Amino acid sequence: MPRLETILLATDGSAASEPASEQAIDLAIQVDARLLVVSVLASARQPSEAATAQGAPDSESLDSDSRDSMSARAQGIVQRARAAGANATYLVWDGEAGEAIVAAADSECADLIVVGSHGRSGVSRFFIGSVSDFVVRHAHCPVMVVRGKFEGLRR
């Protein structure tokens, strides 16, 4: 079996992605691999004319806030990983999530991608789409999908 040198953790920093973060950190420590935490900032969209007229923040301001927030969440995961003994860094990529994760893995020569899944299936997954499904189908390295807890719809 080839040695894992770089493990890419694809995360949005949400509570739902936490199980994948934990698995990636543990695995990086166990096999002494570099952990690269990658978060994707969705491509900016122009605000509507109505939103602009009402004094909504411009797209550059929203981008900056989103990038700062994404970076802060990724840094938090890196700090946890380092505290546990892992060699960890992070990147924030722009674009569509699935495509950006695959591109980051290729660019950084990742040996494994770890990505979370919300545990949805069937019709729910069809309507919501699935970044993890895209990554599994398009990645050029193995992908570990870590299923989180799905709490379903609350009544």
Domain membership of residue 153 (yes or no) is: no
What pLDDT shows up at residue 145?
92
Residue 138 belongs to domain with CATH number: 3.40.50.620
Give the residue-averaged pLDDT of 96-123: 87
Helices (H) and strands (E) counted in the chain, each on its own, are 6, 5
Structural domains of the chain, count: 1
Domain membership of residue 124 (yes or no) is: yes
Domain membership of residue 59 (yes or no) is: yes
> Mapping DSSP to helix (H, G, I), strand (E, B) and coil, where does residue 110 land?
coil
Domain membership of residue 155 (yes or no) is: no
Domain membership of residue 152 (yes or no) is: no
Instruction: List pLDDT tens digits, range 67-94.
Output: 899 999 999 999 999 999 999 999 999 9
Domain membership of residue 1 (yes or no) is: no
In terms of residue numbers, what domain contains 87? 6-147
User: What's the whole-model pTM score?
Assistant: 0.78
Domain membership of residue 142 (yes or no) is: yes
Domain membership of residue 154 (yes or no) is: no
